[in-house]
């Protein structure tokens, strides 16, 4: 399928599909006219990438466990993916702590 077809089937833009492919997250072959041709498996991969981006991961972080993508729908459960997600969770917890301290400081100045 062409890039526009993959984008339409996954609810993303052709520009983002191209970005994922250029980052090495999607596989395609080039047709004789230079167009990228994506197979059916790439639909699941794009949906997984979008779900992982929705968890706050970056494309670069997702690249760390690219071999885990595909197969079943949903976030990948491989050890590399779980490791990246655990580290991301630690960063989120630290941000929550920092924001809580900041909120408490502002409340101390302006009141509840």
Side-chain-facing half-sphere of 21: CA atoms under 13 Å: 21
pLDDT at 66: 84
How many angstroms separate the CA atoms of 26 and 63, rounded? 10
Q: Which of 55, 68, 86, 81 minimizes the C-alpha distance to 25?
A: 68
Per DSSP, helices labelled H in 28-78 are: 41-54, 59-63
Domain ranges of the chain: 3-110
The distance of Cα 96 from the centroid of its chain, to the nearest Å, equals 22
Candidates 3.30.465.10, 1.10.1660.10, 1.10.760.10, 3.30.70.20; CATH matching 3-110 = 1.10.1660.10
In tens, the pLDDT along 12-44 reads 999 999 999 999 999 999 999 989 999 999 999
Instruction: Could you list the beta-strand ranges (E) of 1-112.
Output: 29-30, 36-37
In tens, the pLDDT along 62-104 reads 998 888 887 765 566 788 888 889 999 999 999 999 999 999 9
Question: From the CB of residue 66, how many other CB atoms can be counted at a distance below 10 Å?
Answer: 18
In tens, the pLDDT along 39-66 reads 999 999 999 999 999 999 999 999 988 8
Distances (CA, A) of 47 to 25, 77, 84, 97: 12, 15, 18, 31
């Amino acid at each position: 399928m062409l890039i526009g077809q993959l984008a339409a089937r996954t609810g993303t833009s052709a520009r983002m599909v191209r970005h994922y492919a250029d980052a090495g997250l999607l596989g395609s072959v080039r047709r004789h006219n230079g167009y990228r041709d994506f197979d059916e498996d790439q639909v699941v991969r794009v949906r997984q990438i979008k779900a992982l981006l929705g968890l706050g991961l970056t494309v670069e972080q997702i690249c760390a466990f690219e071999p885990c993508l595909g197969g079943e729908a949903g976030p990948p459960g491989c050890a590399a993916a779980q490791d990246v997600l655990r580290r991301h969770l630690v960063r989120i917890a630290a941000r929550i702590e920092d924001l809580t301290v900041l909120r408490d400081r502002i409340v101390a100045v302006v009141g509840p």
